[in-house]
Structure 1
Amino acid sequence: MILDRLRRPARWLPYLAVALIAAAGLAGLAIRPDAETNPGSADYVILAGSAGLRWDDLDPQRTPTLWQEATKGSIGWLSVRSAMRVTCPSDGWLTLGAGNYAAWPRHTTGSVCEPVQPALTRPDDIGASLTEQRSVVQNNQDRLPYGAVPGALAESVRCTYAFGQGAAMAAARPFGRVDKYQPEFPADGRGLLSECNLSVVDLGTITGTGEQRRQQVRTADATLARVLAARPLRSLLIVAGVSDTERSNRLHVAIAEGEGWNGGWLTSAGTGREGYLQLIDLAPTVLTALGKPSPEKLFAGRSITVAEGRPTDVTDAMLGGHNADQRSIAQNAVAEIFFRVLAGLQILLFLLAIPVLVRARRHAGPRGPALPPKRVVAVLELALIAAALAIPAALIADATPWWRNTHPAWVFGTVTALFIAIGTAVIRFSPRWPHRLWPLGATALIATVVVGFDLLTGAQLQLNGVAGYSAVHGGRYAGVGGVGLGVFVAGLLVLAGASVKWIDKRWRPVLVVLLGGLGVVMVGSPYLGADPVGAIALTAGVCVAAAITTGGWLTFPRFAWAALSGLGVTIAFALVDVRRPASDQSILGRVLTELLNGTAGPAMSRNAAANGQALLDSPLTILAVAGVLMLAFCQFSPWGGLNRLFGLHPALRAAGAGVTVVTLLAGVLNGSALTVAGAAAATAVPTAVLTALRVLLHAADRTRPEGETDGPGGPLMREDPSLASR
């Protein structure tokens, strides 16, 4: 008896393991990198902007001044996101001066942006006035969800000097006054740039192609040369391509040169990625360099810092094989094609699987339709595995330079198909192929390993990747994206559900919590997934899965305890986060701060708008709906087989419930609607259908397929008669 008690795990050990994993997950969420200090201070800041300026416009012979500044200073890719889907020059200049996502009213539509032509008056020979500024401020405050205040940057400094119309839009105060103004930078500007501590210079608009564009770039370079000739001592020069000039999204030039800004990558806490920054980061950077506090309630950006490791040669750093702008163009085009094709093929595959499932069901009478041919079943199983591996294979394909080819879509499709074939062959020719859960567990393992390894290595596969996120959209620059989160969550929880059959029933919740706790740390850690909202959603999903992994249904008490656990972790993390400085807070800390000071309305409005746009625009919405309908057929129709599968393996039902909770919570709270759920469905539903098919085909067996047991030391399982009637 004593020996039996020693062998039997103590009742409190599972709860202790759960508590330890929860504490580890909370610690992983709470620990954040130390805030980087400002690289250098300055007495004067010069913002030299050019609408449309891109890195492929620069050349050591054609633009020697720009090339010299890029070589001497710190550089990066600038995302020019504003309150509009495409940032035209007026939007970019206004956003620069607001330090937040702003927009100038548009009067026309078309493929080309309107030129910068604000209504300017000169009441004296010193400054100027933007006559429309008050109405523009009101429009951004009342009609747009970002709460931007154009002119917030000018209000935060002693004096601004603007050279050019675009510069006037950035340097104007909220009531329209530009302290000092000239229509263009003069040939001899000595002394002018030291009259105000902030000077804004419009280098001109770069648009079109060919010789016209090259001439505009040469003009901008010549203007910058005059600025450098008049530059005062202890000044910071920032050169930025402040906007697009056509109705398409691109990445632009960002250069900072001055004391402390010599070499290295530009970055910010807002992007979390070396070499990437946002247009809204420039305003807080100006104030930080001047030693002035930022209006945190008005600014949405973070101050720019410098990271080491940049190649000395500008060509090696920004062009050629490292041209992020070129890759983002290819990514935007190919991603839409990939997910539309994937959605269409999976829907077709589900439709083809239905008659096979119907014929696979064993009938009670002496006669019934013949079982589907073995060859048809074999082909369908391979097709379902290939469908489940599509997104993980696309992530691996993003490690290749497919985007540099003249036909990127075909090259990407070919490489992805090759990786799908390799993964499918590995699963098919494994000695464990006859086992019922092998395809389901193996595809889940591959999905988890691919995304997990990518996070451990800096999420390089997701940045500007077809199955990742694009820097030009300005939503995310580092960590796990919505697609990656869906694949990772589905793989992790399904893997846990398929693995627990090998351990004692009392320890199954512990295994789910152990794997789930590891996932929480990877998703939420700022060094890895950098998605605290996704981590908290995963916490709630793991609690749900652990609650029903030993059997039974998701009852209200179980759901309530799981929800309370997730809510407890959320509140604990939010309280830790809200105590940090505003510049170091995650999205949860900022949301809680906004709720406490009554300014959360714009954030909630932005989230609702983002959910609506993602719901209508994303092909992953179709995948999510198709996956739900197929699972509903498999569970509620007499031919589905999913109820039988859940009866044999209740942990899989727990995994499905957990994935549902995570993907819906993460999608809604992150503003991506069904994107996360669609990626999870594309990964898990095909192999769930495959497993249900296998259960139906073996419904009359009295033992498991060859080699399967009930677990360590367990007897071979007899088919439950009550399940056979389902």
Structure 2
Amino acid sequence: MRSLHAACLALLVCALAILPLSAHATEEDRPIVLIGTGGVMWDYVDPETTPNLFALSEESAVGNLSVRAVHPVACPADGWLTLGAGERAGDDETDNGACRLLEEPVDGTVPHWEDYVASAENSAYSPRLGQLAELTADRNTLALGPGAAIALADENGTVSSYGQIEDYRDLAEGQDLVLVDIGSMSQIEPTVFDETQNRQKGDPLAASFETQEWDEEAIRADMATIDARLGEVLDAIEETTPEARIIVASLSDYSATASTQQVIMEVTGEPGLLTSSTTRRSGLVAATDLLPTLVNGSEGPGDSIVADAGGTAEGNRAAVTEFDSLTKAIKPATGWVYALWGISWLLVFFATLIFRRKPVLRGGALAVASLPASAVLMNGTPWHTAGNPTLVLCLGIAVGSVLIGILSYRLHGRHRAAPAALVAGLVLLSYLLPVLVGSPLALNSVFGALPSVGRFYGMNNMMFAIVGASGLVLAGIIAEKLADRQRAAALIVGLGATIVFIDGSPWHGTDFGGPPVLVVGFLFLALLVSGRRLTWLSSLGILLAGVAVAAFFLLVDYLRPVEDRTHLGDFAQSILDGTAFDVIARKAMQVVALWPLLLVFVIMLAVLWMLWRKKAPISLEQLVHPNGDSWVWTIIALVVVLLGGTLLNDSGPIIFLTGGMVAIPLLASILYYGKPLGARKQKLARDTDEKARGSNRDSTTN
């Protein structure tokens, strides 16, 4: 009897152990059905217009899909090509701004495949068309609809199994992967090309000032049509493959001018938000994440999409809809904020030359320098939900900047650099603190990065320029205020190390081009402030320290698990496998594309150099002498950081211009408007006088 009981117990234990494994195996073996569309945005998902989409979202994890590929607007062909390649890909041709109308395969071959291949060969992203077909060669796959055929075509443009969406019931059973194209919608309807031209690679300037003007009634009519097709496919899935894992993704833009966030959801049976290590943001994924979600072993920048369960269906829809509305509002508002900043900057500059009313103009300079901080603070309000979001944002930023300028000016009696110190510190905190705690507050601002450009977390180039400029000005204030040179140098190194760590570490800013030049700038300033001479050996050591810090961040990220890596670790991997040149070449071409700004930038530097040489001929050795002017050293450090950042990053001269627009007003508020010397300068002047008197006494004695 005891033996029988023991046997039963053993069988029960084995059964309990096997059940989870069997369930896991069943989960892995489930067929996948990806239903693709285009132009579908969360703003227009509601129970009346789109009952099927709405009902599906009630039992799904939802998110926004960033569909930006190689062009400002993602056409249907771009979305399906990116899905099949696992990398940004697209059709390089257009007809008067329209996208290509996708056509049925002919004898198993995708039409215009040679155009897609030519586009891939000329792309800086080097997409490998046909990767999805290659990875699923030993599995049963089915493409229903012309877009699905593009994604499942092999490198020669051949699709092995194809049908219409009406054929789902007849063809889907027994398939491991089914892609279904239910059609797309866009502001400009796709067309069969008569005359072709090359599509634009970069965003047009007008896109930074124009709001999206759509026919709401037409959108809802098109959404209803798409939703009806989705309902037909969902009914077919329920009848034929009810066990399938269902993903619905809108793969292309509706906008005709700029990329928009699109709907994506996965049926999980409970509410949740979709995310991936590519974006590190709940409720946001990238189009390049779709391929690794469908199949293992893919190559590319994306990672598998996962569902974070939690919340309510209504709350999750509200979250992704709000983020979608923010991205729609921030694009046109950005141009107007930049214009506001530039005009304000020029007004203060010319008013200084003409009126020379220092108290008022000093406050104006401080207000202009604080505008980036005001933009982040304003982003903590729901400005994008206003009737005229651009106007509300501009007014809010302007009012915030003026208040900061007034508040900081009131400190002018304590020390001439006190107002600038307050503004510089506020700017630093407004950008570094959100990055440190993992908040997208700064990144979502007009000086951050939209998801459409592919920067989903950390610090972008403009944020680096703003932080670097304000940080070095604050370091200059430390150098002037503290009489103890060693203590001042130590504080400058500590400040620089903090900025470098937040900017470059793979846990926070994940910026590659910023840390090396920041290290050089802060160490250069700290060396001279400490009283040491700048020699060729110390200069080489500073440069090597910058390289070492950048390499350290790459190595640390590379040694982390693959699923936890950022683009730093991916770049380290590309260095090892020899593909880093493609990344470097792409970024270099982005800088070269800004050649008009580069030309203006070079001319400005040449003019300033000639004027300076004519007015004050002085050697470089005199400029960097340990007994020299700490503000001259600070300005040199600023030029090194901003010029170096311009050369190392793909934003080019925008980095120098942005950093200069922060640094120059801060420096002016200290050097032009300020009165008393700092403690270190006063001590240095006293030491110089004492040495002079001592020399006179010695000469008299002799």
Q: TM-score w.r.t. structure 1 length?
A: 0.79
Q: Distance in 1 between matches of 2:67 and 2:431?
A: 28
Aligned counterpart, 2:409: 428
Q: Distance in 2 between matches of 1:686 and 1:447?
A: 13
Aligned partner (choices 598, 605, 608) of residue 585 of structure 2: 605
Aligned counterpart, 2:140: 159
Amino acid at match of 2:345: Q
Aligned counterpart, 1:363: none
Amino acid at match of 1:242: L
Q: Distance in 2 between matches of 1:626 and 1:516?
A: 28
Q: 1:462 to 1:39 in 2, by over 3 A?
A: farther
**Is the Cα–Cα contact under 8 Å of residues 324 and 464 in structure 1 kept in the other structure?**
no
What's the offset of the Cα at 1:711?
Answer: 9.1
Three-state SS of the structure 2 residue aligned to 1:200 is: strand
What's the offset of the Cα at 1:434?
Answer: 5.4
Aligned counterpart, 2:211: none
Aligned partner (choices 467, 479, 495) of residue 447 of structure 2: 467
Amino acid at match of 2:236: A
591-600 or 657-666: which moved more? 657-666
Aligned counterpart, 1:520: 500
Aligned partner (choices 248, 261, 266) of residue 239 of structure 1: 248
Q: 1:631 to 1:391 in 2, by over 3 A?
A: farther
Q: For residues 4-23 of structure 1, what are the structure 2 equivalents within 5 Å?
A: none
What's the offset of the Cα at 1:554?
Answer: 5.4
What's the offset of the Cα at 1:206?
Answer: 1.9
Aligned counterpart, 1:572: 552
Amino acid at match of 2:500: V
**Is the Cα–Cα contact under 8 Å of residues 76 and 277 in structure 1 kept in the other structure?**
yes
Q: 1:40 to 1:711 in 2, by over 3 A?
A: farther
**Is the Cα–Cα contact under 8 Å of residues 134 and 174 in structure 1 kept in the other structure?**
no
Aligned partner (choices 389, 392, 404) of residue 373 of structure 2: 392
What's the offset of the Cα at 1:556?
Answer: 3.7
Structure 2 residue 338 is matched with structure 1 residue 328: no
Q: For residues 244-263 of structure 1, what are the structure 2 equivalents within 5 Å?
A: 244-245=253-254, 246-258=256-268, 262-263=270-271
Amino acid at match of 1:478: Y
Q: 1:658 to 1:159 in 2, by over 3 A?
A: farther
Structure 2 residue 425 is matched with structure 1 residue 445: yes
**Is the Cα–Cα contact under 8 Å of residues 38 and 185 in structure 2 kept in the other structure?**
yes
What's the offset of the Cα at 1:353?
Answer: 3.2
Question: CA-to-partner distance for each residue in 1:146-199, whole Å, 9 max, x for gaps?
Answer: 11022211211123211111221112111111121113334xx33633332111
Aligned partner (choices 99, 109, 120) of residue 105 of structure 2: 120
Q: For residues 232-381 of structure 1, what are the structure 2 equivalents within 5 Å?
A: 232-245=241-254, 246-258=256-268, 262-287=270-295, 292-294=296-298, 296=299, 299-308=300-309, 310-313=311-314, 317-318=318-319, 323-354=322-353, 376-381=357-362
Q: 1:233 to 1:119 in 2, by over 3 A?
A: closer
Q: Distance in 2 between matches of 1:338 and 1:512?
A: 32
> What's the % identity of the aligned pairs?
26
Structure 2 residue 562 is matched with structure 1 residue 562: no
Aligned counterpart, 1:198: 177
**Is the Cα–Cα contact under 8 Å of residues 84 and 130 in structure 2 kept in the other structure?**
yes
Q: Distance in 1 between matches of 2:93 and 2:549?
A: 45
**Is the Cα–Cα contact under 8 Å of residues 38 and 305 in structure 1 kept in the other structure?**
no
Structure 2 residue 232 is matched with structure 1 residue 226: yes
Q: 1:628 to 1:335 in 2, by over 3 A?
A: farther
Question: CA-to-partner distance for each residue in 1:189-224, whole Å, 9 max, x for gaps?
Answer: 336333321111112112343444323322322222
Q: 1:254 to 1:665 in 2, by over 3 A?
A: farther
Segments of 5+ residues of structure 2 without an aligned counterpart are 1-23, 188-214, 692-702
Aligned partner (choices 30, 42, 45) of residue 43 of structure 1: 30
Three-state SS of the structure 2 residue aligned to 1:109 is: coil
What's the offset of the Cα at 1:468?
Answer: 1.7
Q: Distance in 1 between matches of 2:26 and 2:458?
A: 25
Structure 2 residue 682 is matched with structure 1 residue 678: no
Aligned partner (choices 525, 547, 557) of residue 527 of structure 2: 547
Amino acid at match of 2:460: G
Structure 2 residue 81 is matched with structure 1 residue 94: yes
Q: 1:262 to 1:43 in 2, by over 3 A?
A: same
**Is the Cα–Cα contact under 8 Å of residues 623 and 682 in structure 1 kept in the other structure?**
no
What's the offset of the Cα at 1:721?
Answer: 13
Question: CA-to-partner distance for each residue in 1:98-146, whole Å, 9 max, x for gaps?
Answer: 1111112414132xx3242346213xxxxx22143245224312x1111
Q: 1:404 to 1:148 in 2, by over 3 A?
A: same
Structure 2 residue 216 is matched with structure 1 residue 217: no
Q: 1:567 to 1:210 in 2, by over 3 A?
A: closer
218-227 or 163-172: which moved more? 218-227
**Is the Cα–Cα contact under 8 Å of residues 163 and 183 in structure 1 kept in the other structure?**
yes
Aligned counterpart, 2:199: none
Aligned counterpart, 2:384: 403
What's the offset of the Cα at 1:270?
Answer: 1.3
Three-state SS of the structure 1 residue aligned to 2:93 is: coil
**Is the Cα–Cα contact under 8 Å of residues 515 and 550 in structure 2 kept in the other structure?**
no
**Is the Cα–Cα contact under 8 Å of residues 506 and 568 in structure 2 kept in the other structure?**
no
Aligned partner (choices 601, 618, 641) of residue 662 of structure 1: 641
Q: 1:533 to 1:236 in 2, by over 3 A?
A: farther
Q: Distance in 2 between matches of 1:560 and 1:551?
A: 18
**Is the Cα–Cα contact under 8 Å of residues 430 and 442 in structure 2 kept in the other structure?**
no
Question: CA-to-partner distance for each residue in 1:535-563, whole Å, 9 max, x for gaps?
Answer: 34433333223222335775543321110
What's the offset of the Cα at 1:355?
Answer: 6.0
What's the offset of the Cα at 1:611?
Answer: 2.0
Aligned counterpart, 1:29: none
Q: Distance in 2 between matches of 1:265 and 1:498?
A: 46
**Is the Cα–Cα contact under 8 Å of residues 544 and 657 in structure 1 kept in the other structure?**
no
Aligned counterpart, 1:24: none
Q: 1:310 to 1:80 in 2, by over 3 A?
A: farther
Q: For residues 615-634 of structure 1, what are the structure 2 equivalents within 5 Å?
A: none
Q: 1:429 to 1:556 in 2, by over 3 A?
A: same
**Is the Cα–Cα contact under 8 Å of residues 447 and 462 in structure 2 kept in the other structure?**
yes
Q: 1:684 to 1:212 in 2, by over 3 A?
A: closer
Three-state SS of the structure 1 residue aligned to 2:166 is: coil
Three-state SS of the structure 2 residue aligned to 1:256 is: strand
Q: Distance in 1 between matches of 2:374 and 2:613?
A: 29
Three-state SS of the structure 2 residue aligned to 1:467 is: coil
Q: 1:164 to 1:306 in 2, by over 3 A?
A: same
**Is the Cα–Cα contact under 8 Å of residues 517 and 641 in structure 2 kept in the other structure?**
yes
Q: Distance in 2 between matches of 1:570 and 1:425?
A: 39
**Is the Cα–Cα contact under 8 Å of residues 483 and 680 in structure 2 kept in the other structure?**
no
**Is the Cα–Cα contact under 8 Å of residues 79 and 276 in structure 1 kept in the other structure?**
yes
Number of aligned residues: 633
Aligned counterpart, 2:13: none
**Is the Cα–Cα contact under 8 Å of residues 506 and 566 in structure 2 kept in the other structure?**
no
Question: CA-to-partner distance for each residue in 1:495-552, whole Å, 9 max, x for gaps?
Answer: 1221243252123322111111111222223443232443344333332232223357
Segments of 5+ residues of structure 1 without an aligned counterpart are 1-36, 123-127, 357-371, 699-703
Aligned partner (choices 671, 675, 678) of residue 692 of structure 1: 671
**Is the Cα–Cα contact under 8 Å of residues 76 and 253 in structure 1 kept in the other structure?**
yes
How big is the alpha-carbon RMSD for the aligned residues of Structure 1 and Structure 2? 3.6
**Is the Cα–Cα contact under 8 Å of residues 502 and 711 in structure 1 kept in the other structure?**
no
Q: Distance in 1 between matches of 2:132 and 2:421?
A: 54
Q: 1:89 to 1:193 in 2, by over 3 A?
A: same
What's the offset of the Cα at 1:718?
Answer: 8.7
Q: 1:38 to 1:203 in 2, by over 3 A?
A: farther
Amino acid at match of 1:216: D
What's the offset of the Cα at 1:631?
Answer: 9.7
Aligned counterpart, 1:25: none
